[in-house]
Amino acid sequence: EVIEAAGQVLLPGFVDLHTHLREPGREDTETIDSGSAAAALGGYTAVFAMANTDPVADNAVIVDHVWRRGQEVGLVDVHPVGAVTVGLKGEKLAELGTMAASQARVKVFSDDGLCVADPLLMRRALEYSTALDVVIAQHAEEPRLTVGAQAHEGERAARLGYTGWPAAAEESIVARDCLLALHANARLHVCHVSTSGTADVLRWAKDRGTKVSAEVTPHHLLLTDERLATYDPVNKVNPPLRTESDAERLRTALAEGVIDCVATDHAPHAVQDKDTEWSAARPGMLGLQTALSIVAETMVRTGLLDWRGVARVMSERPAEIGNLADQGRPIAAGEPANLTLVDPDAEWTVRGAELASIAANTPYEGMRLPGVVTATLLRGRVTARDGKIC
Ligand code: NCD
Ligand code: ZN
Ligand code: ZN
Ligand code: ZN
């Protein structure tokens, strides 16, 4: 098969370090099947499936199921993220070693969904991870500072009567874990950075030699708490949408490498969990099929990144952080390639109902966006072409 690619950009297949596929537990909103299709259509050849499933992915049985199911579907490599802790209150360290040695070969462990508030537990997790050469991806929120929080702490939240989520809740826990990671000589990955102050903390930690990496979501690059004006729960997300000056700083931090990569935090939710009053709505939004376009809009159109830079933040860095040797890099002659072809000049209009996810909670409904993924190849095989799964 010949793919006509004149005028298009060829990139290493995208790698998403932060995807919520709802299998097991909430297959009414996403499955490994539907989520893999969304990923392939979005240009991804590997995703890391977050551990906050039901039951939680805190043991080898569940992570092996996720990995095997992803391979059966065959559209994208689904790397399960293991939970750092076990137990309803997350009071005990999970068997990281067992999951790392399982068929799924878990490379990233996260507290997404259940924050590690106890510093001694986090220290133990980081020390354990050093011995295993895996990454602890921390979800960057101090739960004792976010009780009841519904929106970014500021004028808008106050005016609407929502309990605020202060920037300090993120910045203080990131600072704590950067110091603990340096102490343990561990690799720490900070999920969904949302504030300007977190960029300051990251730069400070990196300057001191901390092995810390960080991601920013497409929605935190583009959207701000101005979105609260409409009361639409589609905009409710953890961490919350921040101010325009935060978003601006996140874009420059990504361009400068203070923030290493883009991750979607793709979070499918059922209509009944979103189409309700703001305080009752679940946080999170879809991201896999819109990520490239939001990066094109916020980073390429603005001149902050060229397409070489897009390859760095969407493919190379996430593959390095996630320990994927076969992703995010140039291919030797004859080697099966993981590739994404993008038409940089084409535009498309987002329709939630047309996305491959079972859920439809996109904050970009009706928006016209630049950058169309025209083909995705996983190990030399076309998985998506012109908006259709192959
Ligand atoms: C995530 C989800 O829906 O699983 N939601 C979100 O707003 N990011 C959970 C989480 O990361 O808090
Ligand atoms: Zn949390
Ligand atoms: Zn999170
Ligand atoms: Zn998440």
Residues having CB closer than 6 A to ligand 1 are: 20, 52, 112-113, 139, 237-238, 265, 267, 283-284
Q: Which of 238, 264, 278, 285 to mutate to test the pocket of ligand 1 (most atoms within 8 A of CB)?
A: 238
User: Would you say residue 50 has pLDDT above 90?
Assistant: yes
Greater pLDDT, 350 or 88: 350
Sequence-separated (6 or more) residues with CB below 8 Å from residue 324:
15, 46, 77, 79, 107
Q: Which ligand number lies closest to the CA of residue 237?
A: 1
Q: Which ligand number lies closest to the CA of residue 22?
A: 1
User: DSSP letters along 338-382, please?
Assistant: -EEEEEEEEEEE--GGGSSSS----TTTT-EEEEEEEEEEETTEE
Q: Which ligand number lies closest to the CA of residue 285?
A: 1
Alpha helices in 119-230 (DSSP H): 119-132, 155-160, 167-184, 196-207, 218-222
Please state, for a pLDDT cut of 90, what percent of the chain lies above it.
93
How many whole angstroms separate alpha carbon 24 and alpha carbon 65? 9
57 alpha carbon – ligand 4 mean position (Å): 14
On whether the CB atoms of residues 54 and 26 are closer than 8 A, the answer is yes
Going from the C-alpha of 316 to that of each of 47, 149, 180, 181, the distances in angstroms are: 13, 35, 26, 23
- pLDDT tens, 267-290? 999 999 999 999 999 999 999 999
How many whole angstroms separate alpha carbon 22 and alpha carbon 51? 9
Atom of ligand 1 lying closest to residue 265 CA:
8
Name the residues annotated as catalytic: 265
Q: Whose CA is nearest to atom 9 of ligand 1?
A: 113
- pLDDT tens, 325-340? 999 987 788 888 999 9
Q: What is the pLDDT of residue 355?
A: 98
How many whole angstroms separate alpha carbon 362 and alpha carbon 365? 6
- pLDDT tens, 349-366? 999 999 999 999 999 999
User: Would you say residue 41 has pLDDT above 90?
Assistant: yes
Q: What is the pLDDT of residue 6?
A: 95
**What per-residue string of b and e applies to 104-136 under the rule 16 or more CB within 10 Å gives b?**
bebbbbbbbbbbbbeeebbbbbbebbbebebbb
How many whole angstroms separate alpha carbon 204 and alpha carbon 250? 15
How many whole angstroms separate alpha carbon 329 and alpha carbon 339? 10
Q: What is the pLDDT of residue 1?
A: 78
Q: What is the pLDDT of residue 256?
A: 98
Q: Which ligand number lies closest to the CA of residue 241?
A: 1
**pLDDT band at residue 56 using 50, 70 and 90 as cut-offs:** very high
Compute the mean pLDDT over every residue in the chain, rounded to the nearest whole number. 96
Q: Which of 112, 265, 266, 288 to mutate to test the pocket of ligand 1 (most atoms within 8 A of CB)?
A: 265
Taking residues 70-95, what's their average pLDDT?
Answer: 93
- pLDDT tens, 148-195? 999 999 999 999 899 999 999 999 999 999 999 999 999 999 999 999
Q: Whose CA is nearest to atom 6 of ligand 1?
A: 284
217 alpha carbon – ligand 4 mean position (Å): 10
- pLDDT tens, 248-270? 999 999 999 999 999 999 999 99
Atom of ligand 1 lying closest to residue 267 CA:
3
- pLDDT tens, 106-151? 999 999 877 888 999 999 999 999 999 999 999 999 999 999 999 9
Sequence-separated (6 or more) residues with CB below 8 Å from residue 77:
45, 46, 47, 70, 71, 324, 327, 378
Sequence-separated (6 or more) residues with CB below 8 Å from residue 342:
8, 9, 10, 11, 43, 292, 296, 307, 371, 372, 373, 374
How many Cβ atoms from other residues are within 10 Å of residue 20's Cβ? 26
Q: Whose CA is nearest to atom 4 of ligand 1?
A: 267
Q: What is the pLDDT of residue 349?
A: 98
User: Would you say residue 49 has pLDDT above 90?
Assistant: yes
284 alpha carbon – ligand 1 mean position (Å): 5
9 alpha carbon – ligand 3 mean position (Å): 31
Taking residues 311-326, what's their average pLDDT?
Answer: 97
Q: What is the pLDDT of residue 36?
A: 99
Taking residues 40-58, what's their average pLDDT?
Answer: 97
340 alpha carbon – ligand 2 mean position (Å): 32
Q: What is the pLDDT of residue 112?
A: 82
Q: Whose CA is nearest to atom 5 of ligand 1?
A: 284
How many whole angstroms separate alpha carbon 144 and alpha carbon 140? 12
Q: Whose CA is nearest to atom 12 of ligand 1?
A: 238
Q: What is the pLDDT of residue 276?
A: 96
Secondary structure class of 23 (helix, strand, coil): coil
153 alpha carbon – ligand 1 mean position (Å): 18
Q: What is the pLDDT of residue 114?
A: 78
Ion ligand 4: residues, CB < 5 A: 112, 265
Give me the phi and psi of 366, to 5 degrees please.
Answer: 80, -5
How many whole angstroms separate alpha carbon 287 and alpha carbon 245? 22
Q: Exposed, middle or buried by CB within 10 Å (0-12, 13-18, 19+), for 222? A: buried
User: Would you say residue 212 has pLDDT above 80?
Assistant: yes
Atom of ligand 1 lying closest to residue 141 CA:
12
Sequence-separated (6 or more) residues with CB below 8 Å from residue 316:
12, 328, 329
Secondary structure class of 123 (helix, strand, coil): helix
Q: What is the pLDDT of residue 186?
A: 98
Q: Which of 16, 56, 112 to mutate to test the pocket of ligand 1 (most atoms within 8 A of CB)?
A: 112
Q: Do the interacting molecules here have an ipTM over 0.90?
A: yes
- pLDDT tens, 222-253? 999 999 988 899 999 999 999 999 999 999 99
19 alpha carbon – ligand 1 mean position (Å): 10
Q: What is the pLDDT of residue 272?
A: 97
Q: Whose CA is nearest to atom 2 of ligand 1?
A: 267
Q: Whose CA is nearest to atom 7 of ligand 1?
A: 284
